[in-house]
Chain A
């Protein structure tokens, strides 16, 4: 974590141009700020309490129009100078603020995009362990660490350093001893900062963790709302929310304590410095070694010195604060469980070539948890164009097997091959382009019906969308909705029944029109009549495509060329529907439970 900032900056891609512009402006701002107390000093030393030395050195000021004999005119000039210096420094400040606000948010968003795209590449195994709310926070909030770093640490830090140097040079001119003493106070300040930073970072990280927990609880509750309400669990969730918030409050107070302690220590040191200067400077003026105006400049600088010192001291606090966020961002970016293109990954050959879409599982094993294989040494070939039904008891590994084909998961040992190529050596985009999936849980997004159907092909025409919907038997209920195809779906399609969602999900896959079709229980929530229509449509569409279909209802797989029975992660039966019904085995049992009347007829 020591050099996290370097990695964060690299991930966010800090642009050079604006940074150079900001650096130049910073130098200008420091100079203007350092000159600010001078008009008052000159006023005191030239007019109010004349100092011979200063009068000699700044005699040229008398050359200003009207100032030769009139002190009043000189005062007026100095007042004008005061105002101009202010305007100059403000002009610079606004420009810097403008540039920084753009830069800061741009960097934040860029880092957020980086995290988002990495999260999208991470496997389902990773996501199954994470909470959505927590991940959302990493993308949207924690990515702000780069803004804090650049706009809260680097730029103010540079500004403070330049301020210190410029002011030191000016002070050196006025009184070397005092200048050295003022700067010497930087040492204890630096030490105090070092001691106080570590607990600050810890507290900040703890606070963010609890914040994420609160967000997760809210997210879970809202996500499972029908269950929450029907089990009258609201009071319990209220209680949990309160408890977590109470814990958050404790953390917030702890974090604030750490900050206050830190601030006390640093500003105490700074105050001691000011007092020393006041004492020694006062004595110097009394001795005539320093003009009164000079002392005023010193005191003004000390007040101004406090600001950059304080900035510098807060830098580490800000840095520490963002360390927590940066850690959470880098955790994601460093997770290696992502599935991406291997170096030198190839495109799949043209779809027209024979055998390109043959799927082969070559000694494939897979487990979510070590020691608990879900698939064991699966070895089979599905020739191009074959429609294969996958049946088997719940939890036998059917969905996992399906997930290996589009590389939602990667095999632990063995390989999945498409057209003889290991899927891991194929470009992901090219692989997934050839595959249409209907997942077990129909995932709909809060956009219009037609956008949901056209999810895989955003450029599809309304005609194409409609015919896909028709084929999936979805058009009828779509047209009954207010707004028809333009109707906006609620989150996760909450206003639709599961059967309706399933049909939209099928329509989406159909519109994609891919040569490989993977269906994970596409009809589990359909009534028998709709199921029959959808199954017929699927049968038409699977013609000429390599298709794997998982189904519990055997009526869904009537059209399959071949049935595979999976049990405990291994293929236990393989054959046509009729063959398997004739065999003594798991399939016959399943068939008898489902079709107590039909079984006899099949055998004839």
Chain B
């Protein structure tokens, strides 16, 4: 039940509309009780007396009841759609906010397709739950009570008999519930994997085409689809079985009432019109019963979706802001900040540590390069400094302040990151560059682009800075994307800048130009660069060589070359004369 209680805030936020709906729900059963009366009047009085006036009265009466019903229905549908959609939007907004803040580790384990289904589809559970918990039951219970009272006055014995059939109907619906829930879950899982497959395929079109795996993907799609068809058919069968069973019981009830009622009419204890009214009431009663009983099943179906929503909301957040976290205090003396790692260990899963007991201090304004083989943990180290992850052990400090004690936002504000893969959004180039500082002026944006060596190609585009970038920046080359990503970081103008292979897809000439421009523009900032091309980092203040999650060498370019260690090896391998050519 707890899972539903947690939905309460979303529901209660719409209490005004819910109150309106509640009010309207009171009127609905009243109309249900009135609806069959015109017929009784017609049969027992108007026709019997052959009075045209009375017939007209009966007809007008019935039209009025109808019109009232229509207005009532429209108003409550309107109110309910508005309230329900608002609940869904609120829940979806929270879920989205949560998803954005979960660490990249979480996202590496969940496919975006599945997450999108949860966001776009499963959030409707709040609508369903609210409807089944609050709206429908109120209406049905009221109908049941009111009609039972009215029917009792018409004929007590028949009312008792019709009410007695209720438990039988209840039992039939009851045992189908769990089966339906299981089916609903299977169906959702299958749908999710289908969406994931499609998403995955469409997200990697270049690969799909180059390896002509299109046919295979369609086959996989078909296999999942066939499974989906089978599941849907089974669900339909179970769903219908339940409605047939309760319908049969209801019809049996009607037959009994008709039989007993007819004998009453023959005895003169009841008029024909009264019998007709009674039959109509019986239908209303059964409708209300049925509605109430099916609530359980709809509830069960919603349960599966609710669970999938909470699963995300409850996913352990690896980076948690402390309750009493404070904002970063900007040191008075300098715009640059020192970065310090103190005996830090970290692993994506605890068994395989990526960084082991790693200590490192980068002074304020120092320019440091990080080198080492692929996969030794360079990018991880950067992720830790930006608090995309938190270390398993050890402390990370910015200007002497433990980042774990600071608010996430203030930490990330201190650092401009150029990630290894330039992540661009399908908005204009201007917005992409100004992403970290939306308030930047046009001049500042152009200047940042110039520093990153991007100004040239941007102005060559027909729309210039207004060019909208295709999804994942596909119309730009890798180097162009990288330069936009650099411009973005330059514009952010944070006290520390971290570049994760900023120039891997640039040619050597452009690279040298971009690198020197960046270092010039960021005079006095703390700067950490990862690079594989050693020509990029020759002029850095200090070079740190990382291996197996530990620092094995550090010093300036010349010092390391003289030491003749790993750095010298790497240097030799990359910059050796081109004698290896055939």
Residue interface bits A364-392, CB-to-B below 8 A is 1, else 0 = 00001101100000000000000000011
Q: Which one of A168-176, A178-186, A247-255 is at the B interface?
A: A247-255
CB pair B217–A229 under 8 Å, yes or no, is no
CB pair A392–B373 under 8 Å, yes or no, is no
CB pair B207–A238 under 8 Å, yes or no, is no
CB pair A532–B574 under 8 Å, yes or no, is yes
A56 part of interface (Cβ distance < 8 Å): no
The minimal Cβ–Cβ distance linking B70 to chain A, given in whole angstroms, is 6
The minimal Cβ–Cβ distance linking B34 to chain A, given in whole angstroms, is 15
CB pair B108–A495 under 8 Å, yes or no, is yes
Q: Bound state CA distance, A532 and B425, in angstroms? A: 35
Q: Which residues from 196 to 252 on chain A have a C-beta closer than 8 Å to any C-beta of chain B?
A: 211, 214-216, 218-234, 236-238, 241-242, 245-246, 248-249, 252
CB pair B209–A120 under 8 Å, yes or no, is yes
* Cβ contacts under 8 Å, A227 to chain B: 417, 419, 423, 435, 485
Which of A49, A120, A130, A371 lies in contact with B214, CB distance below 8 A?
A120
A462 part of interface (Cβ distance < 8 Å): no
Q: Bound state CA distance, A482 and B349, in angstroms? A: 9
The minimal Cβ–Cβ distance linking B532 to chain A, given in whole angstroms, is 5
CB pair A260–B252 under 8 Å, yes or no, is no
Q: Bound state CA distance, A102 and B228, in angstroms? A: 9
From B349, which residue of chain A is reached at the shortest CB distance?
A: A482
Given known pairs A98-B236, A127-B205, A133-B116, the reply for A490 and B108 (CB within 8 Å) is yes
Which of A223, A278, A502 lies in contact with B59, CB distance below 8 A?
A278
CB pair A597–B110 under 8 Å, yes or no, is no
From B112, which residue of chain A is reached at the shortest CB distance?
A: A222
Q: Which one of B19-27, B154-162, B194-202, B361-369 is at the A interface?
A: B194-202
| Sample of 4 more A-B contacts, CB < 8 Å, known A256-B81, A406-B210, A561-B582 | A82-B251, A83-B255, A230-B415, A527-B373
CB pair B229–A105 under 8 Å, yes or no, is yes
CB pair A590–B508 under 8 Å, yes or no, is yes
From B348, which residue of chain A is reached at the shortest CB distance?
A: A495
Given known pairs A559-B580, A601-B577, the reply for A552 and B508 (CB within 8 Å) is yes
CB pair B479–A395 under 8 Å, yes or no, is yes
Residue interface bits B423-459, CB-to-A below 8 A is 1, else 0 = 1111000000001101000000000000000000100
* Cβ contacts under 8 Å, B331 to chain A: none
From A139, which residue of chain B is reached at the shortest CB distance?
A: B198
Q: Bound state CA distance, A593 and B578, in angstroms? A: 14
B78 part of interface (Cβ distance < 8 Å): yes
CB pair A528–B574 under 8 Å, yes or no, is yes
From A477, which residue of chain B is reached at the shortest CB distance?
A: B375
CB pair A590–B509 under 8 Å, yes or no, is yes
B301 part of interface (Cβ distance < 8 Å): no
B573 part of interface (Cβ distance < 8 Å): yes
The minimal Cβ–Cβ distance linking A266 to chain B, given in whole angstroms, is 11
Q: Bound state CA distance, A407 and B507, in angstroms? A: 26
CB pair B471–A130 under 8 Å, yes or no, is yes
Given known pairs A113-B221, A113-B222, A232-B409, the reply for A48 and B262 (CB within 8 Å) is yes
* Cβ contacts under 8 Å, A135 to chain B: 202
CB pair A101–B232 under 8 Å, yes or no, is yes
Q: Which residues from 502 to 529 on chain B have a C-beta closer than 8 Å to any C-beta of chain A?
A: 504-512
The minimal Cβ–Cβ distance linking A211 to chain B, given in whole angstroms, is 8
CB pair B81–A252 under 8 Å, yes or no, is yes
**10 examples of A-B residue contacts, CB within 8 angstroms:** A116-B221, A124-B206, A218-B119, A242-B93, A275-B59, A283-B52, A399-B478, A437-B210, A455-B213, A525-B504
B16 part of interface (Cβ distance < 8 Å): no
Q: Bound state CA distance, A432 and B492, in angstroms? A: 44
B400 part of interface (Cβ distance < 8 Å): no
Residue from B275, B388, B477 having most chain A Cβ neighbours under 10 A: B477
Residue interface bits B360-383, CB-to-A below 8 A is 1, else 0 = 000000000001111100110001
Looking at chain B's contact residues, the main secondary structure is helix
A349 part of interface (Cβ distance < 8 Å): no
B462 part of interface (Cβ distance < 8 Å): yes
B556 part of interface (Cβ distance < 8 Å): no
The minimal Cβ–Cβ distance linking B227 to chain A, given in whole angstroms, is 10
* Cβ contacts under 8 Å, B343 to chain A: none
Q: Which residues from 65 to 104 on chain A have a C-beta closer than 8 Å to any C-beta of chain B?
A: 71-72, 75-76, 78-80, 82-83, 86-87, 90, 93-94, 97-98, 100-102, 104
CB pair A94–B244 under 8 Å, yes or no, is yes
Q: Which one of B41-49, B141-149, B288-296 is at the A interface?
A: B41-49
CB pair A529–B573 under 8 Å, yes or no, is yes
CB pair B214–A117 under 8 Å, yes or no, is yes
Q: Bound state CA distance, A527 and B504, in angstroms? A: 11
From B48, which residue of chain A is reached at the shortest CB distance?
A: A286
Given known pairs A102-B233, A109-B228, A399-B478, the reply for A139 and B202 (CB within 8 Å) is yes
Which of A94, A242, A496, A525 lies in contact with B501, CB distance below 8 A?
A525
A530 part of interface (Cβ distance < 8 Å): yes
The minimal Cβ–Cβ distance linking A57 to chain B, given in whole angstroms, is 20
Q: Which one of A26-34, A152-160, A418-426, A438-446 is at the B interface?
A: A438-446
* Cβ contacts under 8 Å, B501 to chain A: 498, 524-525
Q: Which one of B84-92, B167-175, B302-310 is at the A interface?
A: B84-92
Interface residues on A, range: 35 or more
CB pair A528–B119 under 8 Å, yes or no, is no
* Cβ contacts under 8 Å, B423 to chain A: 223-224, 226-227
Residue interface bits A314-350, CB-to-B below 8 A is 1, else 0 = 0000000000000000000000000100000000000
* Cβ contacts under 8 Å, B222 to chain A: 109, 113
Q: Bound state CA distance, A563 and B550, in angstroms? A: 39
B287 part of interface (Cβ distance < 8 Å): no
Which of A219, A263, A435 lies in contact with B112, CB distance below 8 A?
A219
Which of A48, A76, A282 lies in contact with B47, CB distance below 8 A?
A282
B185 part of interface (Cβ distance < 8 Å): no
* Cβ contacts under 8 Å, A252 to chain B: 81, 85
Q: Which residues from 238 to 270 on chain B have a C-beta closer than 8 Å to any C-beta of chain A?
A: 240-241, 244, 247-248, 251-252, 254-256, 258-259, 262-263, 265-266
A428 part of interface (Cβ distance < 8 Å): yes
* Cβ contacts under 8 Å, A2 to chain B: none
* Cβ contacts under 8 Å, A508 to chain B: 211
A545 part of interface (Cβ distance < 8 Å): no
Q: Which one of B4-12, B61-69, B333-341 is at the A interface?
A: B61-69
* Cβ contacts under 8 Å, B206 to chain A: 124, 408, 439, 441, 443
* Cβ contacts under 8 Å, A394 to chain B: 477-480, 483, 505-507, 510
From A282, which residue of chain B is reached at the shortest CB distance?
A: B55
CB pair B211–A598 under 8 Å, yes or no, is no
CB pair A602–B577 under 8 Å, yes or no, is yes
Given known pairs A231-B435, A455-B213, A577-B581, the reply for A279 and B349 (CB within 8 Å) is no
A271 part of interface (Cβ distance < 8 Å): yes
* Cβ contacts under 8 Å, B532 to chain A: 499, 524-528, 531, 553
The minimal Cβ–Cβ distance linking A484 to chain B, given in whole angstroms, is 12
A433 part of interface (Cβ distance < 8 Å): yes
Residue interface bits A507-540, CB-to-B below 8 A is 1, else 0 = 0100010000000010011111111100000000
The minimal Cβ–Cβ distance linking B309 to chain A, given in whole angstroms, is 14
Q: Bound state CA distance, A531 and B195, in angstroms? A: 37
B165 part of interface (Cβ distance < 8 Å): no
CB pair A393–B510 under 8 Å, yes or no, is yes
* Cβ contacts under 8 Å, B263 to chain A: 72, 75
Given known pairs A116-B218, A499-B374, A500-B375, the reply for A393 and B55 (CB within 8 Å) is no
A132 part of interface (Cβ distance < 8 Å): yes
CB pair B509–A260 under 8 Å, yes or no, is no
Which of B46, B262, B474, B569 lies in contact with A75, CB distance below 8 A?
B262
Given known pairs A132-B199, A598-B575, the reply for A437 and B211 (CB within 8 Å) is yes
The 8 A-B residue pairs with the shortest CB-CB distance, nearest first, are: A490-B108, A499-B374, A394-B479, A109-B225, A494-B108, A128-B474, A128-B470, A101-B236
Q: Bound state CA distance, A79 and B257, in angstroms? A: 9
Residue from B100, B120, B240, B383 having most chain A Cβ neighbours under 10 A: B100
B96 part of interface (Cβ distance < 8 Å): yes
Q: Which residues from 103 to 141 on chain B have a C-beta closer than 8 Å to any C-beta of chain A?
A: 104-105, 107-113, 115-116, 119-120
